[in-house]
Chain A
Amino acid sequence: MAETLQFDLVSPERMLTSVAATEVQIPGAEGDFTAMPGHAPFLSTLRPGIVSAVTDQGEVKYVVTGGFAEVTAQSVSLLAERSVPASELTQPTYDEMLADLRKAAGEATGDSADSAGKLVNDMVAVGHQLGLNTAAA
């Protein structure tokens, strides 16, 4: 197997995963990017999207609603406030995530309203990708 980097995904309540991966795709706030071993040190905030890591056991995907990523040459640490394995994301959980974002967007004003609206759209896109109903909530 090629070179690997340490991929950690942690939420405030627990550590979700900690594995060696060859590449990790991350939905950065200003565009998706892929971190591979030897990546320059990099810090980015996240937008709602799907994180996917290529490991020995194949590709694993997680849905995140936000947070930030710390990338170094040897490791990727994702600090996500809310994160669920994509395969376990159910419609009610998704609805709840979407409703939270919509509510935040509804309350936001001025500049932040635009960015909050963008977050909602990102979340809707995630729903489309996973074949979930995005109309509810």
Chain B
Amino acid sequence: MPSLKDLKNRINSVKSTRKITKAMQMVAAAKLRRAQDAAEAARPYAARMEAVVNGLATSVAGSDTAPRLLAGTGADKVHLLVVMTAERGLCGGFNSSIVKLARIRAAELLAQGKTVKILTVGKKGREQLRRDLSAHLVGHVDLSEVKRVGYVNALTIATDVLKRFDEGEFDVATLFYNRFQSVISQIPTTQQIIPAPVPEGAEASTLYDYEPSEEAILEDLLPRSVATQIFTALLENGASEQGARMSAMDNATRNAGDMIDRLTIVYNRSRQAAITKELIEIISGAEAL
């Protein structure tokens, strides 16, 4: 049985933990708002870009002159997995769920005899993947110094990925990130970015006049489209991270509250027991006289 003093200390320590988790929850809530706004603001650009690229891709897809970013290298041997996670922990299953998804995919590809290369964005994913897939890690993008994710960051990642593609380091690139659904649900998502997937059943936008040619525009657009997709993923991931952290910290705060209640009951009971014991001792002492 812990002494009264031990119990008191315990209660105080849980109380301060609760204060911290509560504060973290509020910070996450504020950041979530900002992250959501940023994701919202980026949507028009991404949506238009996607529409135009899809239209072009459908009409150019069959031709021999299609850019490599669309047609692919003709091989399906080397896969690059771009795994996006957070720079910090304490956000529930956020990082683990992406890493789990990436691991499953990597295992699948390896089982098919393909080569897997992994580019990590965010420290947490790298730490987890290093345990069993360290041989496959080819690069890491550190965003821990970045306060607010901007298009520039996406551009840096895109440039890196495109350079590797041009140098023939991989054939297929896939993004792994968490799509923001709501504060309590973030969906780990995979998205193929290179070669650009040709939408099925989409209508070719043959109505347009192009200047310069269709192919030239596509050539110019595809790298931008890759950057845009990465940017969208970064923003979705940012919002998801804050959402996940918010609900994780909310749970932690509630658990700490429950724990304090339980400990307080134990504390009061043992105090009462001590008093009762003393009383009995005094009374039986007096009776013995």
- B-contacting residues of A (Cβ < 8 Å)? 8, 10-15, 28-30, 40-45, 67-68, 70, 77, 79, 81
Contacts and interface: CB of A to CB of B under 8 A. Distances in A.
28 contacts: A11-B151, A12-B42, A12-B45, A12-B46, A12-B151, A12-B154, A13-B38, A13-B42, A13-B45, A13-B150, A13-B151, A14-B42, A15-B45, A29-B211, A29-B212, A30-B212, A42-B208, A42-B211, A43-B52, A44-B217, A45-B212, A45-B216, A45-B217, A45-B221, A67-B224, A68-B52, A79-B52, A81-B224
Nearest to B49: A79
B209 A42 contact: yes
Contact of A79 (B45, B151, B207, B211): B45
Given A12-B154, A15-B41, A30-B211, 17 more contacts: A8-B44, A10-B44, A12-B45, A13-B38, A13-B42, A13-B151, A15-B44, A15-B45, A29-B212, A42-B210, A42-B211, A43-B56, A43-B210, A44-B217, A68-B52, A68-B217, A79-B52
Interface residues of B, number: 27
Contacts, number: 69
A103 to B, nearest CB: 12
B5 interface: no
Contacts of B49: 79
Interface string B225-236: 001100100000
Interface of B: 38, 41-42, 44-46, 48-49, 52, 56, 150-151, 154, 207-212, 216-217, 220-221, 224, 227-228, 231
